[in-house]
Amino acid sequence: METIIRQVREDSINKEVISEASKVLQEGGIVAIPTETVYGLAGDALSSEVSHKIYEAKGRPSDNPLIVHISSVDDLYKLAKKVPEEALKLADKYWPGPLTMVLEKSELVPDTITGGLSTVAIRMPNNKIVLDLISESGIYLAAPSANTSGKPSPTTAEHVIADLSGKIDMIIDGGKVGIGIESTIVDLTSEVPVILRPGFITKKDLEEVVGDVEIDKAILQKNSNKGFVPKAPGMKYKHYAPKADMAIVLGDDDVVIDKINQLAQDKMKECKVGIIATTQTADKYIQGVEVKIVGSRENEATIANGLYSVLREFDKTDVEFIYSEGFVEDELGQAIMNRLFKAAGHNVMDLR
Ligand code: TXA
Ligand code: MG
């Protein structure tokens, strides 16, 4: 199929493009949309037929449920069986924004988008293009990240085009996303809220609003070989993976740089080697390796924002092995390390 590609700027939205995309959605088509986290592949959340199209275009297993995107808090009452007090408080503070809440689903939500679960994941994204699109079309948008399953999530329209051009009806190019990693997912169906996927909204941010919050044990690196099964089905897959094999080296900056140089020196005899470095460390590596800067250690948000782009950049090279520096696993660092650990298939050398 031919994929329509349209550019829209969030600060001067072209209404014609919103109408065009609404029509595609109303006719059961699927449209890639920019959000503040990553690009999504959107379709009518209440249509089983449309959800099949989404799964097929991504090559995604259909037991992995989709997030439903809404444009008004009132929509919660249609999609959820009950709306707990915590959900309203969190929505008030963090919506529209990079937070997804898991609630008991209502009858309206088809099993096909929840992978058969009795719960549904809901988010109000902070992107005016998407909010306008939902309001104008009157359609709740089921939208997983708009990548081929297993690849890093797309942070630019070019990434979406590389993965899905010819497989979907339309791509709305809204430029580079602001955050660069997927939303925080919090499960509100148990007594204490549980983080199923770390993201830009941190445990501390959530606790400020609702008190104690836990983190799903299965997603912590220290438990990676203990056999816990993550509560978010998507978190169990090797994911975000670049084509090259990858290892993460953890420790003090100087120790890590020395170790990576030593490992790279050896590895270079076998294959082309890449390094994921930061503004502060990039010039400290040996000649002959491909060094890419993910962001600045002085501002972790730049690292979150650059991570998937760097992984995709390496896919365009003939690098077969990547060494990556690591980051402190707290606040936003927890979300960054969660994605890095998965990209590396939990191949970690800890020198701390
Ligand atoms: O930032 C985001 O959340 C992006 C943008 C497009 O909104 N979307 C996104 O969707 O990352 P996706 O499909 O790539 O990841 C959704 C995650 C998966 O790990 C899935 O298993 C989990 O959410 N999930 C969805 N519904 C769930 C539910 N009812 N219970 C537990 N986990 C759920
Ligand atoms: Mg995804």
Mean pLDDT computed over 77-104? 98
pLDDT of 108: 98
* Per-residue model confidence as pLDDT tens digits over 289-341: 999 999 999 999 999 999 999 999 999 999 999 999 999 998 999 999 999 99
pLDDT band at 10 (very low <50, low <70, confident <90, very high): very high
* Per-residue model confidence as pLDDT tens digits over 255-264: 999 999 999 9
b/e for 110-138, b at 16 or more Cβ within 10 A? bebbbbebebbbbbbbbbbbbbbbbebbe
Which candidate, 312, 337, 47, places its Cα nearest to that of 155?
Answer: 312
Please determine, for residue 53, whether its predicted confidence score (pLDDT) is greater than 80: yes
pLDDT band at 179 (very low <50, low <70, confident <90, very high): very high
Question: Ligand 2: distance of its center to the CA of 81 in Å?
Answer: 25
CA distance 175 to 198: 24
Spatial neighbors of 263 by CB under 8 A, at least 6 apart, are: 247, 249, 323
Listed in order, strand segments (DSSP E) in the chain are: 4-7, 31-33, 40-44, 67-69, 99-104, 119-123, 141-142, 170-173, 184-187, 194-197, 214-215, 245-250, 273-278, 290-295, 321-325, 348-350
Q: Is the CB of 64 under 6 A from ligand 1?
A: yes
Mean pLDDT computed over 62-91? 97
pLDDT of 238: 66
Question: Ligand 1: distance of its center to the CA of 246 in Å?
Answer: 25
* Per-residue model confidence as pLDDT tens digits over 214-249: 999 998 888 888 888 899 988 877 667 889 999 999
Please determine, for residue 348, whether its predicted confidence score (pLDDT) is greater than 70: yes
Pocket mutation for ligand 1, best pick of 33, 55, 67 (most atoms within 8 Å of C-beta): 67
CA distance 41 to 290: 32
Mean pLDDT computed over 194-204? 98
Three-state secondary structure of 144-171: CECCCCCCCCCCCHHHHHHHHCCCCCEE
Q: Is the CB of 125 under 6 A from ligand 1?
A: yes
Which candidate, 218, 204, 133, places its Cα nearest to that of 172?
Answer: 133
* Per-residue model confidence as pLDDT tens digits over 266-290: 999 999 999 999 999 999 999 999 9
Q: What is the pTM of this model?
A: 0.97
Question: Ligand 1: distance of its center to the CA of 223 in Å?
Answer: 21
pLDDT of 210: 98
Taking CA atoms only, the protein residue closest to ligand 1 atom 7 is 40
- Ligand closest to Cα of 122 equals 1
Q: Which residues surround ligand 2, an ion (CB under 5 A)?
A: 145
Question: Ligand 2: distance of its center to the CA of 347 in Å?
Answer: 21
pLDDT band at 147 (very low <50, low <70, confident <90, very high): very high
Please count the CA atoms within 13 angstroms of the CA of 50 that sit on its side-chain side: 26
Check if the beta carbon of residue 247 is closer than 8 Å to that of residue 320.
no
- Ligand closest to Cα of 33 equals 1
DSSP annotation of 221 reads: G
Please count the CA atoms within 13 angstroms of the CA of 233 that sit on its side-chain side: 17
Q: How far is CA 66 from the centre of its chain?
A: 12
Question: Ligand 1: distance of its center to the CA of 278 in Å?
Answer: 29
Question: Ligand 1: distance of its center to the CA of 108 in Å?
Answer: 19
CA distance 252 to 200: 24
CA-based Rg of the chain, rounded to a whole angstrom? 20
Sign of CA dihedral 241, 244, 250, 251: negative
Taking CA atoms only, the protein residue closest to ligand 1 atom 22 is 232
